Amino acid sequence: MRFRLGGCAVALVLVLSACGVDSASDRAAHDLAGSADLPPAELVSARDTLPPAPPSATALTVLLTHAGDAADPGLDAAAAALAQRPDIRVAVVAAGTPSDGAVTMSGFPVAVLDTSDGDLVAAAVVATGIAPDLVVVGIDRTSELGGAEPIAAAAAAAGVPALVVRVEGGAQADHAAAAMQLLEVLDLELDALLDEPAAVHRLTVPSCRSGSLRGRLVVRAASESAPLPASECTSADRSVPVDEPAAVGAGYAALSRLP
């Protein structure tokens, strides 16, 4: 724009001079030509006129624990999955005999506390100084009964929502599949998990011996001791299960809110 404006002004001067325009007009034309050398008006970016962006969302603070010890493969799988997410801050704790340098199988630090399962969350808050948004207990195997739900129930009673993660399959448990489902639930179901009043949810994931996981359903909770059938991930049954045992048996991950 600047150079085109200057070119037009010079052409105008030549035409006016050839027609015998008086000196005042010449001076005006020269003034116009000279204005081509002035810097153009500074442009204001549209970005500069917008309101400032809102502050970035605060990271989710998760207290991760397990009904077993620090070396359990389920605890390690959950820690490794959560560590992939820069928007999640994780503190890993376990009940047991305190020892310096305790780590999971892959080397994630664990604070081992001399306390009962029911007091673990309260003791962890004191020991670590964190205020968790969510307590995750797992990844447990469905063949292991006992400690996971008392830990989660104590957290909810203290006003902190909790998620129990367990995987079907015993010695052949697919911890990697359960860890992937944990991340998906945190992505897609976080509002429900954090809804008030604080509650306990349970995610049960099948271990597919053939085929693959068929999806995830929100279903009615069964008792912790309710037997789970072996998963049939290749089932051709298209009916939609409505409770945990049926969902897991048909090859679906099951998310339930515990009463």
Kindly report, residue by residue over 40-93, the tens digit of the pLDDT.
Answer: 333 333 333 334 434 445 689 999 999 888 999 999 999 999 999 999 999 999
> What are the φ and ψ backbone dihedral angles of 220, each rounded to 5 degrees?
-75, 135
Question: How far is 27 from 48, CA to CA, in rounded Å?
Answer: 40
pTM above threshold 0.85: no
Q: Which CATH class is domain 60-257?
A: alpha beta
Instruction: Write out residues in the chain with pLDDT < 70, as ranges.
Output: 1-58, 145, 171
Q: Which of 98, 100, 112, 62 is nearest to 83 (CA)?
A: 62
Say what the pLDDT of residue 250 is: 93
Which pLDDT belongs to residue 212? 92
Residue ranges, comma separated, of all CATH 3.40.1210.10 domains in the chain are: 60-257
Q: Output the DSSP codes for 149-205.
A: HHHHHHHHHTT--EEEEEES-GGG--HHHHHHHHHHHHHHSHHHHHPSSP-EEEEEE
What pLDDT, on the 0 to 100 scale, is given for residue 99? 85
Q: Per the structure block, which two tokens stand in for 125?
A: 């808050």
The reported pLDDT for the residue numbered 58 is 62
pLDDT value of position 5: 34
Would you state the pLDDT for residue 157?
95
